[in-house]
Amino acid sequence: MPRSARIDIAGVLQHVMIRGIERRDIALDDRDRLDFVERLSQLLLKTRTDCLAWCLLSNHAHILLRPTRGALSEMMQRLLTGYAVVFNLRHHRSGHLFQNRFKSIVCEEDSYLLELVRYIHLNPIRARLVTSMDKLDTFKWSGHAGLMGQPPLPGQNLDEVLLLFDENPKKAREKYRAFVADGIALGKRDELVGGGLKRYLTYSGTNDHEAYDERVLGGGEFVEHIWHETNSFNAVAAPPSLDEIIERVAALFDIEATTLSHGSKQKTISDARAALCYLAIRMFGYRGVDLSKRLGLSEAGVVFATRRGEKLNVISKLMEIWSNTPADAARSNSDCKAHEILE
């Protein structure tokens, strides 16, 4: 059976799984492990890819990634090829190190982000590499230690995960740790390592017939959204400037672009800022600090706005009109006013 084309668009959460060929070890000692995580860190920073969770075990690895620009497949090819070459030289071997190509599952964030963070970071306990939460807190080859205050992997996005628990860093760590500890009793989570509607139905308990895609972990509406975004992004040749994104968002919401940086709490302007943050960061790879400066928001405020924007039903409409000029978009507002879309 031919392989399915990989879904590889910016702004989409992906659970990446890497396995050694014939289940053999991919890291034999700490030197190997350090080489792997250093390569991963360098590529995360260079490609501006968000890493929300990671874990390196003896014969496989899990990484939760959200590419903000460029193709995830290119980053992973550089990581795995470079690592395999050095591994083979060090251990006087030849041939493939990894089992086929890496596996990646596109994931619906609202349903799965925290579940996947917990699942990935509990791998050392399930694999019996550590025997308690106390030891997991300092386990060097997992992103959990960074979230607990140990030196993090450069490039790991700690703030986004912790802010989902509390704005106070100390309270956030306590709540996050309790959440992870509660997951130990859940055991192996098969629904989190495979894609498609069947996995989603098992997890959600629904039986409705929905759109289905083995490459996607989420409900039917999310699957259809991913199909639409894949087609939309194929039509966008290059990331637009931040000024252009601001003009398009302002035109869609029928407001002046300058009002987006005034700090107004008016709902239309607040919604427009949220849509802008989501579109610029998740879709076109801008950094949170870029939006923070332009909108007068704190970086934590940008994180919250981005998550709000993801839930607004305007992103697909923005992509539909992206080929128009801002003036064209404004003239078409009679067909796509933001307040009508948000109903």
What does the pLDDT read at residue 260? 85
**Considering only 96-100, 148-152, 238-242, 303-307, which range has the smallest mean pLDDT?**
238-242
**pLDDT tens profile 104-134:** 877 777 778 899 999 999 999 999 999 999 9
233 pLDDT exceeds 60?
Answer: no
Q: pTM (2 decimals)?
A: 0.66
Q: What are the φ/ψ torsions at residue 106 (nearest 5 degrees)?
A: -75, 135
**pLDDT tens profile 54-98:** 999 999 999 999 988 767 888 898 899 999 999 999 999 888 899
37 pLDDT exceeds 90?
Answer: yes
**pLDDT tens profile 282-327:** 767 777 888 888 888 887 888 888 888 877 766 666 665 554 544 4
Evaluate whether 148 touches 154 at the Cβ level (below 8 Å).
Answer: no
Residues 6+ apart with CB under 8 A from 210: 197, 219, 220, 221, 223
CATH superfamily of 14-204: Transposase IS200-like (3.30.70.1290)
Domain boundaries, the chain: 14-204, 239-341
Q: Identify the band that residue 337 occupies on the pLDDT scale cut at 50, 70 and 90.
A: very low
Mean pLDDT rounded to a whole number for the chain = 79
Query: Both tokens of residue 112?
Result: 């799965």
336 pLDDT exceeds 80?
Answer: no
Most confident of 9-23, 93-107, 133-147: 133-147
What does the pLDDT read at residue 77? 87
Query: Both tokens of residue 103?
Result: 């596996």
What does the pLDDT read at residue 2? 38
Domain range 239-341, CATH architecture: Orthogonal Bundle (1.10)
Query: Both tokens of residue 37?
Result: 């995580």
Angle formed at CA 8 by CA 229 and CA 158, multiple of 5 degrees? 100
What does the pLDDT read at residue 105? 79
Evaluate whether 71 touches 5 at the Cβ level (below 8 Å).
Answer: no
Angle formed at CA 191 by CA 131 and CA 311, multiple of 5 degrees? 110
245 pLDDT exceeds 80?
Answer: yes
CA-to-CA distance for 320 and 231, rounded, in angstroms? Answer: 10
Q: Identify the band that residue 19 occupies on the pLDDT scale cut at 50, 70 and 90.
A: very high
**pLDDT tens profile 165-187:** 999 999 999 999 999 999 998 87
Is 32 or 296 the better-scoring residue by pLDDT? 32
| For residues 235-243, average pLDDT | 65
